[in-house]
Copies of this chain bind each other. A is one copy, B any other.
Amino acid sequence: MKVQRQIPQNAFTAGNGFIGRYRRLVKDVVIPYQYGVLEDSIPDTEKSHVIANFINAGKALRGEDTGDGFYGMVFQDSDAAKWIEAAAYSLASYPDKELENTVDRLIDIIADAQDEDGYLNTYFTVKDREKRWTNLLEGHELYCAGHMMEAACAYYEATGKKKLLDVMLKNAEHIYNVFIRDGHKGAPGHPEVELALMKMYRASGDKRCLELARHFIDTRGTDPDYYINEVKSRDWTVWGNNPHDRDYQQSGKPVREQTDATGHAVRAVYLYTGMADLASETGDKELFAACRRLWESITRRRMYVTGGIGSTVIGEAFSVDYDLPSDTAYAETCASIGLMFFASRMLENDVDGEYGDVMERAFYNTVLAGMQLDGKRFFYVNPLEVIPGISGVSPTHRHDLTVRPKWYACACCPPNAARLISSLGKYAYGESGDTAYCHLYADGAVSFENGMKITCETEYPYGFDITYKIESGSGKMAVRIPAWSEKYSVELNGTAADIEVRKGYAYLDAKSGDVVTLRLDGTPYFVHASPKVPELTGRTALCRGPLVYCFEGVDNGGDVISIGIKRNCTAEVSDYDSGLLNGTVKIAVPAVRFGESGGLYCNSPLPETDCTAYAVPYYTWGNRGENRMRVWMTER
């Protein structure tokens, strides 16, 4: 009943454009590097131990000595799951026997760690089997299960191999038995399994997966005291999470009644993704209406211009409306990845360009900024302003680092970015019976179920012409027109196409041999925030296409906070420089430089000198050493 849905992984092959380069970076660098981390073979990096955990869990099940036992976060298993998922997506496009063998070996290890009743979690299997399902608040058992289900579906879709899918179907059956057959109360402290069960349902056709997803979604918040009572009923804790903070895990009221995006941002958007998926799968209009309210709460009032969400470090959480500080921002990489999931599922309920707009805002800015250009270091936190000496140092800015670390003890973001980039085709393209949907502009070849095979060519986000060659087949096309592009045109074989524009999409018919060209506007533009955002009065952000730009010290004589951008100025775009930051375009802006006027506070205006300020895309920041950086510039 979805109005359209993601294409299968194998239906898209990336070309040589921007997306293709990122996908190959993930294949060549990120996936091998991250596997090295998982097996603890990368020096000077936070220990992972995740593969060892699975091996030791297998030993525990066989009654053997578990050696060095369990190490890491309670949700350590999910790092392996996300890596398998990324590897699977990569294998779908870039066959690699050695990688496939590595995945198969890891799957064997994981299968060995599954209890005979289907339970699968190394933390509880190694440490204390008796504590299973007693700590939904913190235990992450359903979270880890969800990630492994996603991995299983991806690997099955990519390779046709069913071993992990079977393991996870058995695991889903176990969870079904515990929560539905045997009536265990409660919903996951960290949502994730809901969206994963929807994938399992589609991969396997097992209706219990759908039922279980609906069960967890509908159970959530019906007993707002569930976690409080759970804490009372057990004598142990992982971190001492406060069960009274119902907003943190979105458990204060039933999800259908929720109106504000609250709490831990990743939990929130994973939950909303599951809700939106279920709503489109079942045609549940009430549930979709709740999703829509939560979507508006995020995108109208609680989202950074970079698509970052969850503005506060305290709880890695959504704050209140319009509280969007640049320098103390949290804006976790994973949260923006989750926002893309949510947007993509919203598109399955309603084809509206705003979902694609947000998806690309999150992708080209926060998600890509989360990874160093060489694929080897990662940001968890994505501030919109960084001042070495304050950022990472001030008590309120400790989380805002100035350069990307190698890996984190809590390593959710790096493999999450890898799996997102590897599966970008699913977010870029969609389909429903007769129509081929182009949500994002991803260079490469796509096959749709309506029989159309299309090749997309574009230098996007650095070129603004997107050319679709219809290689074979015919049918309807729906191409998103981004809201940021004031001017645009759609051509069919070189002349204006006969299009119908509805909700941000151009609809047209095309057939084999046709060339459809979307021409977008590459003129840089200045964004202004609603005057409801206190932080941003009199500030502006420079953008071009989907890219938010930022100003870094290295391009601006060391400092960017003493710069004011001239109002109503014209920004000048430089040529594409393939040698700069893996290939990018700088933008020059007329500006003034404020000088010192003596002392911390002075009673006269600061001296101002005209200057030119230079900006680079936000996703490239922090790749040239420690540096001042600012997105929202003062206007002058």
Contact = CB atoms under 8 A, between A and B. Distances in A.
A585 to B, nearest CB: 18
A630 B534 CA distance: 10
Interface string A472-489: 000000000000101000
Interface stretch (A7-15, A138-146, A180-188, A525-533): A525-533
In the assembly, how many copies of this chain are there? 2
A322 B525 CA distance: 31
A531 B389 contact: no
A259 to B, nearest CB: 15
B635 A538 contact: yes
A605 interface: yes
Contact of A396 (B319, B389, B602): B319
Given A321-B389, A538-B634, A635-B538, A595 B531 contact: yes
A569 to B, nearest CB: 11
A321 B320 CA distance: 28
A599 B299 CA distance: 9
Interface string A588-605: 000000111101111111
A603 B486 CA distance: 9
A600 to B, nearest CB: 5
Interface stretch (A24-32, A286-294, A559-567): A559-567
A504 interface: no
Nearest to A319: B394
B605 A526 contact: yes
A227 B315 CA distance: 31
Nearest to A636: B538
Interface in A500-534: 525-534
B602 A527 contact: yes
A531 to B, nearest CB: 4
B600 A301 contact: yes
B600 A530 contact: yes
Contacts of A635: 538
Interface stretch (A234-242, A323-331, A572-580): A323-331
A606 B567 CA distance: 12
Contacts of A313: 396
A636 to B, nearest CB: 7
A305 interface: yes
A171 interface: no
A527 B603 contact: yes
A26 to B, nearest CB: 29
Contacts of A561: 531-532, 534, 537
Contacts of A321: 389-390
B312 A600 contact: no
A332 B436 CA distance: 61
A564 B606 CA distance: 17
Nearest to A562: B531
Contact of A528 (B385, B597, B634): B597
A632 to B, nearest CB: 10
A454 interface: no
Contacts of A599: 300, 530
11 contacts: A320-B394, A322-B387, A323-B394, A323-B396, A323-B397, A529-B600, A529-B601, A530-B596, A530-B600, A537-B561, A538-B636
Given A320-B390, A385-B534, A529-B600, 10 more contacts: A299-B600, A312-B395, A314-B396, A328-B328, A396-B396, A486-B603, A528-B597, A529-B601, A532-B561, A533-B600
Interface of A: 299-301, 303, 305, 312-315, 317, 319-323, 325, 327-328, 385, 387, 389-390, 393-397, 484, 486, 525-534, 537-538, 541, 543, 559, 561-564, 567-568, 594-597, 599-606, 630, 634-636
**What 7 pairs between A and B have smallest CB-CB spacing?**
A538-B634, A531-B562, A314-B395, A531-B594, A537-B634, A319-B394, A323-B394
